[in-house]
């Protein structure tokens, strides 16, 4: 397990709550000095190296592998194929929950997508394993591959989208609403396939000790992963230890156990020695999830006052031939804009790719760029400023359900963001603003939203005999600052200073830390931590008031409160004593408290719960060359209680940068003949770099939500993606008068004649 305490304790000039303070990362020094241990940094004694051989076709069968040549190579110990792979206790194609995906574990010679693992070479060195994999020289029986998302004859309506949401939702009469409107928008927007590219791949170091399994691997959900491994190998979950103290990025792709990780564990079982397997960067494109492409058609009707009379959002996406995950893009239209009628629908086409999965803002990211572009088109059709149009269609209750919002400060996000950005100076007509160098200037706006999601988590609090505290939970930090923010919650729950609190996390033998995903980690684990701390304090109070030697003896429990390592009478501060004194008299070395975090189903039935925001973007475009640059972005976000403003600002920056990449950079190029990803590397798969990001600012709009959970936390990891891509697309249109509806927007779009006139 891992634990973090400050390098030096701060001077105690005054005592204050940790929550709300911009505490620096507790793990920052370990990371910048190289002391932080990631999965691939582990090297147990007698460890071997494993390398996957992957398919170069999208559909067919492996007819032959030259296993003899690979095994004859110096240093190669074994080659694992479908013919000799160790047996599993459970079919890897079984799925028990939406956070579990079907795995490719060498079940057969069938190839279902390019880059599918087809064999594993195990050797004394990484180089020998790599060379052995090349010597396998696979031969295939190739079959035609389905790769076209636009194959209407193949489209079907899935049973559910995302993690189980309805594929269709309707309120009101769409056809009547469209007929009623005096203005109309009918446009189709396309987003490409995007692949997770965290700095750390899905590395695994696996060692078997009899029937006990020890695994070092990055995981956003260790308890779920532990259960999956226990089922696959037919062992007790308590005999599986997953260590994941640090994750070098996740974005959703480490939320479920994936095929390469299990192949590394199988390899270790096969050879009876520890094995390390680290997918190469090109091997990340296929068996490890991606955001599926979409084609989204929006039909909007508006009356003369700019009020929406109808909002229809249809999304088509893809999934693999063998599993079910469908990007829920249209569902973004459930929550943002008031309309007399709303309809959201999805259909899908199965293609020969790896299975799509959760990728930062699944559904919301791809859906919002289409919705916000369509809303901008609607504002232009009505002759209105884009902000004025959004305010005219501001939803006071959730449009699709009619539920009141648990809290909503989107209006303040618009107001504060617009003021900081200078939106009032925007010229309404497109292609009307230039800078001193003659570059076209465009200003765009996008509304951001993300639902409040909570999973289930547990925590254990310990008050020690010296008066300090320990908080334990199997939580994960993939760079978002969880080590720090959760420690702040822990300190406040135990009513201790931050430097008096040890925070332990990162291993599966600790209480279930839930899922670090869906922007719900801090809310879920944070509330478990808060409950555990309060439970420990309550037990300590019970001990004190029952102890005849305590100055608090005889008081009722609700007449005693905890303050900075001491218990005291609520109405008499002189009646107090330290935690250590209470435990010393009781002869205890420590006292435990336990807590759980989970969503309140009753609250979810009564309220719509979302974080909100507004992103304003400035784009400059060379009118002759078509080169684009985002020169300014201002985002304003209301996301409930902020635990650490420094970490939250960092998350907002990251989301806005991701949105910039969505709008202008990121796209996987698929060879239509072979199904292979042609830019499966970080040289040609473009994501924003420092040179692409100019002036960026994130405003935190204060929001008190008494309903979402005890701590009032919503979530910040994904919301900033959702407004940004649309804001940039709208700014490009405002600069150039060219409405680009296929993403990412490129130079070719700027120099080409517009497909349709606005």
> What is the DSSP track for 94-124?
---STT-----SS-SSEE-STT-EEEEEEES
Name the pTM for this structure: 0.96
State how beta strands 204-209 and 440-451 pair.
unpaired
Show which of 264, 284, 304 is a domain's final residue.
284
382 is a domain residue? no
Owner of token pair 């709009």 = 701
Q: Are residues 695 and 627 in the same domain?
A: yes
Structural domains in the chain (count)? 3
Kindly calculate the radius of gyration of the chain based on its CA atoms and give it in whole angstroms.
Answer: 28
Comparison of pLDDT for 2 and 441, the residue scoring more: 441
Query: Nearest 5 degrees, angle CA 14-CA 19-CA 655?
Result: 135
* 104 shares a domain with 230: yes
Confidence of residue 757 (pLDDT cuts 50, 70, 90): very low
How many Å apart are CA 583 and CA 464, to the nearest integer?
Answer: 8
Please report whether residue 468 resides in a domain.
Answer: yes
Same domain assignment for residues 574 and 716: no
- Inside any domain, residue 724: yes
Q: Is residue 363 part of a domain?
A: no
pLDDT tens-digit map of 460-474: 999 999 999 999 999
What single string gives the DSSP state of each residue in 572-622? EEEEEEEHHHHHHHHT-SEEEEEEEE---HHHHHH-B-EEEEEEEEEEEE-
Average pLDDT, rounded, for the chain: 96
Region 144-154 average pLDDT: 93
Same domain for 621 and 569, yes or no, is no
Give domain status of residue 629, yes or no.
yes
639 and 592 belong to one structural domain: no
- The boundaries of the domain holding residue 105 are 43-144+196-284
Same domain for 582 and 654, yes or no, is: no
H or E element: which one contains 637? strand 628-638
> Is residue 616 located within the same domain as residue 724?
yes
Q: Average of pLDDT values for 351-371?
A: 97
What pLDDT is attached to residue 10? Answer: 39
Query: Rounded distance, CA 358 to CA 216, Å?
Result: 22
DSSP of 50-82:
EEEEE-SSSSEEEEE--HHHHHHSTTEEEEE-T
Angle at 528 between CA 522 and CA 534, to 5 degrees: 125
User: Is residue 99 in some structural domain?
Assistant: yes
Picking from 229, 237, 234, the residue whose alpha carbon sits closest to that of residue 256 is 229
* pLDDT band for position 608 (cuts 50, 70, 90): very high
Distance CA 285, CA 248 (A): 17
Q: What is the pLDDT confidence band of residue 8, given thresholds at 50, 70 and 90?
A: very low
Instruction: Determine the Cα–Cα distance for residues 311 and 107; give it in Å rounded to an integer.
Output: 46
Mean local confidence (pLDDT), 42-48: 98
**Is residue 7 over pLDDT 50?**
no
Q: Does residue 371 belong to any structural domain of this protein?
A: no
CATH of the domain at 442: 3.30.365.10
Residue 3's pLDDT is what? Answer: 64
Q: Are residues 470 and 578 in the same domain?
A: yes
The proportion of the chain whose per-residue pLDDT surpasses 90, expressed as a percent, equals 96
Render the burial of 5-42: b for 16+ CB within 10 Å, e for the rest. Answer: eeeeeeeeeeeeebbeeebebbbeebeeeeebebbbeb
Same domain, 102 and 202: yes
For 235-288, the three-class secondary structure string (H helix, E strand, C coil) is: CCHHHEEEECCCCCCCCCCCCCCCHHHHHHHHHHHHHCCCEEECCCCHHHCCCC
pLDDT at 630 over 80: yes
Nearest to 55 by CA among 46, 63, 47: 63
Residue 166 maps to a domain: no
Task: Give DSSP secondary structure letters for 158-213.
Answer: -S-BTTTB-SEEEES-HHHHHHH-SEEEEEEEEE--EE---SS---EEEEEETTEE
Boundary-marking domain end, from 571, 598, 625 = 598
The proportion of the chain whose per-residue pLDDT surpasses 70, expressed as a percent, equals 97
284, 302, 329 — which closes off a domain? 284
pLDDT: is 744 or 12 the higher one?
744
Residue 546: is its pLDDT beyond 60? yes
**Residues 77 and 113 placed together within one structural domain of the fold:** yes
Q: Quick one: pLDDT at residue 98?
A: 79
**One domain, residues 423 and 395:** yes
The whole-angstrom separation of Cα 519 and Cα 718 is 6
Mean pLDDT calculated for residue range 166-188: 98
What is the model's pLDDT at position 21?
97
Closest by CA to 739, choosing from 747, 729, 751, is: 729
106 and 58 belong to one structural domain: yes
pLDDT at 97 over 90: no
Inter-residue contact 522 to 713 (CB < 8 Å): yes
């Amino acid at each position: 397990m891992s634990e973090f305490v400050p390098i030096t304790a701060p001077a105690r000039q005054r005592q204050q709550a940790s929550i709300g303070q911009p505490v620096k990362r507790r793990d920052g020094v370990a990371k910048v000095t190289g002391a932080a241990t990631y999965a691939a940094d582990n090297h147990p004694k007698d460890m071997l190296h494993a390398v996957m051989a992957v398919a170069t076709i999208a559909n067919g069968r492996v007819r032959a592998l030259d296993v003899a040549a690979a095994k004859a190579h110096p240093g190669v110990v074994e080659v694992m194929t479908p013919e000799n792979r160790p047996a599993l206790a459970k079919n890897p194609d079984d799925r028990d929950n939406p956070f579990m995906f079907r795995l490719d574990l060498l079940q057969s010679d069938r190839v279902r997508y390019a880059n599918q693992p087809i064999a594993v070479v195990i050797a004394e060195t990484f180089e020998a394993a790599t060379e052995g994999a090349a010597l396998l020289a696979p031969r295939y029986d190739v079959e035609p591959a389905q790769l076209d998302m636009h194959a209407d004859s193949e489209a079907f309506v899935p049973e559910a989208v995302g993690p189980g949401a309805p594929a269709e939702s309707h309120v009101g009469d769409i056809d009547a609403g469209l007929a009623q409107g005096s203005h109309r928008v009918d446009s189709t927007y396309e987003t490409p396939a995007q692949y997770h590219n965290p700095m750390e791949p899905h590395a695994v170091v696996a060692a078997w000790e009899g029937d006990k399994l020890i695994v070092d691997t990055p995981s956003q959900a260790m308890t779920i992963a532990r259960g999956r491994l226990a089922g696959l190998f037919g062992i007790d979950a308590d005999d599986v230890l997953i260590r994941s103290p640090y994750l070098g990025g996740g974005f959703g792709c480490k939320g479920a156990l994936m095929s390469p990780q299990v192949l590394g564990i199988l390899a270790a079982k096969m050879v009876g020695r520890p094995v390390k397997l680290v997918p190469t960067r090109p091997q990340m494109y296929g068996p490890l999830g991606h955001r599926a492409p979409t084609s989204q058609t929006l039909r909007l009707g508006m009356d003369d006052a700019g009020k929406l009379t109808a909002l229809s959002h249809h999304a088509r996406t893809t999934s693999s031939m063998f599993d079910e995950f469908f990007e829920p893009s249209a569902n973004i239209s459930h929550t943002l804009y008031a309309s007399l009628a709303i309809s959201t629908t999805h259909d899908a086409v199965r293609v020969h790719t790896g299975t799509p999965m959760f990728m930062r803002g699944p559904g919301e990211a791809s859906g919002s760029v289409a919705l916000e572009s369509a809303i901008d088109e609607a504002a232009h059709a009505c002759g209105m400023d884009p902000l004025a149009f959004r305010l005219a269609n501001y939803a006071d209750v959730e449009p699709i359900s009619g539920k009141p919002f648990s809290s909503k400060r989107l209006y303040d996000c618009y107001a504060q963001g617009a003021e900081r950005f200078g939106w009032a100076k925007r010229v309404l007509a497109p292609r009307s603003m230039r800078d001193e160098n003659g570059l076209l200037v465009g200003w765009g706006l996008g509304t951001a939203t993300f639902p409040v999601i909570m999973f289930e988590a547990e925590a254990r609090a310990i008050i020690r005999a010296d008066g300090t505290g320990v908080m334990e939970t199997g939580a994960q930090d993939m760079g978002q600052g969880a080590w720090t923010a959760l420690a702040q919650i822990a300190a406040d729950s135990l009513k201790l200073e931050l430097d008096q609190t040890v925070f332990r996390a990162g291993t599966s033998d600790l209480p279930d830390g839930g899922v670090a995903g869906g922007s719900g980690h801090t809310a879920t684990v944070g509330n478990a931590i808060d409950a555990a701390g309060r439970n420990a304090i309550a037990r300590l109070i019970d001990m004190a008031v029952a102890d005849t030697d305590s100055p608090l003896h005889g008081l009722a429990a609700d007449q005693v409160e905890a303050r900075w390592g001491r218990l005291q009478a609520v109405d008499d501060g002189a009646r107090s004593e330290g935690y250590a004194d209470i435990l010393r008299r009781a002869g205890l070395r420590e006292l435990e408290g336990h807590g759980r975090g989970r969503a309140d189903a009753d609250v979810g039935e009564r309220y719509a719960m979302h974080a909100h925001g507004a992103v304003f973007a400035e784009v400059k475009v060379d009118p002759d060359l078509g080169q684009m640059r985002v020169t300014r972005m201002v985002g304003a976000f209301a996301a409930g209680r902020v635990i650490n403003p420094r970490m939250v600002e960092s998350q907002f920056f990251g989301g806005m940068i991701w949105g910039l990449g969505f709008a202008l950079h990121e796209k996987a190029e698929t060879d239509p003949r072979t199904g292979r990803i042609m830019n499966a590397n970080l040289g040609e798969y473009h994501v924003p770099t420092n040179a692409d990001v100019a002036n960026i600012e994130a405003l935190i709009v204060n929001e008190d939500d008494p309903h979402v959970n005890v701590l009032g936390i919503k979530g910040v990891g994904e919301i900033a993606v959702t407004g940004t891509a649309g804001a940039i697309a709208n700014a490009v249109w405002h600069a150039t008068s060219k409405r680009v509806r296929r993403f990412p927007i490129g130079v070719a779009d700027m120099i080409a004649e517009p497909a349709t006139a606005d």
